Structure 1
């Protein structure tokens, strides 16, 4: 098993622990999206949690969020980031990608560069007592990659074990819950109060972009009378 496979399993295990933990402190809502935080176990900063319902099918939202093979596919709709590139496709479940963010906080925080390992997993539940019958995850953590050594062009930020979950409601397949765990050290000498404002706001902007793209895909498919096919990822029972 490669070191990336081992790392992916470790990311999965840690993020699922966050998903089952209590003790989150509410930060309020940003444009209708509730935000919580707690102390990160990896650095002197916050681990954030975002959660909201989306009145669209699970597979459409998840397919929007899955990282594509080309830069053009992502930047055609995602204006919440400055640049994206798939650096290496390791398998159907694993890839390494680069994301560069826009500046934020009125330019006080400069663009950040992320080089992350991404893992895609889906879980199904046969228990009728569960609210969700399918949960699809994107796990992520920063890695080093020979094609992208740190440079002076951008501040290299670091994602510690993080994850995005799209959960399908068992009783309503046209509705899903989006849950995000962001465990990011953006680097630099930035006051914590500014980070606790800028980072959640950027993440909510990403959620809004996801909703807009998913809605656009639904409208386009209806106009062309095309089916919106579910994601083809392998499903893992639990």
Structure 2
């Protein structure tokens, strides 16, 4: 059981953590590369798995890109992100901090069963225009483990949208996934799932931002 100060502290630590991942170039190994995205990984210092980093440039203003990514119920992300089946806010802690539950569908041809995740989520804006969404797992009395879902645990993860100087219609998007999927999954399934699902995430994001632009 966490209190509000503790949630706030955890959320702020995650935001610092993601900035350090973005700024620290050392130790990343590229595992997937396309025109849209470079996905790399390194061993996590948070749990016995990997932290994955995606980086790519999306054709669209930061406002449009963020509109597609922002963590809100009934937001656009549930519509286009294959890995988000449902997103709900369990408790609003402060204007920019909430406790959220995310439900993911089965994946990897059914080898990965549906999961749910309970996280504290912080949306942070920086002076240079950068906007980030930062999340990590918490325990919340409003969401005990439910039948039909394996409870997974996100370690510091999220996305950072960075404006590109002189290019108002392009946005650099960093994503960080660092997830303990829970359950007894073979390591090889997990290691192949994240790079391919992150590549799909970028290609779907690019498509939805483009369609958004054409309206």
**Structure-1-length-normalised TM-score:** 0.82
Q: Give the Cα–Cα distance (whole angstroms) in 2 for the partners of residues 62 and 185 of structure 1.
A: 26
Where does 1:177-196 land on structure 2 (aligned, <5 Å)?
177-196=172-191
Structure 1 residues not aligned, in runs of 5+: 126-133, 221-238
Larger Rg: 1
1:103 aligns with 2:106: yes
1:149 aligns with 2:164: no
Q: Give the Cα–Cα distance (whole angstroms) in 1 for the partners of residues 136 and 212 of structure 2.
A: 29
Aligned match of 1:58: 62
1:82 aligns with 2:85: yes
Aligned match of 2:32: 28
Q: Give the Cα–Cα distance (whole angstroms) in 1 for the partners of residues 201 and 61 of structure 2.
A: 18
Where does 1:1-238 land on structure 2 (aligned, <5 Å)?
2-21=5-24, 22-29=26-33, 32-68=36-72, 70-71=73-74, 74-125=77-128, 134-220=129-215
Secondary structure of residue in 1 paired with 2:134: strand
Deviation at 1:215, TM superposition (A): 2.2
Q: Give the Cα–Cα distance (whole angstroms) in 2 for the partners of residues 61 and 110 of structure 1.
A: 30
Deviation at 1:74, TM superposition (A): 4.8
- Number of equivalenced pairs: 211
Deviation at 1:210, TM superposition (A): 2.4
Structure 2 residues not aligned, in runs of 5+: none
Q: Give the Cα–Cα distance (whole angstroms) in 2 for the partners of residues 213 and 89 of structure 1.
A: 28
Judge which range, 202-211 or 139-148, deviates more: 202-211
Question: Structure 1 residues 213 and 92 mapped into 2: Cα distance closer, same or farther (>3 Å)?
Answer: farther
Residue deviations 1:22-45 (CA, integer Å, cap 9, x gap)? 221111326742110000112111
Q: Give the Cα–Cα distance (whole angstroms) in 1 for the partners of residues 80 and 19 of structure 2.
A: 29
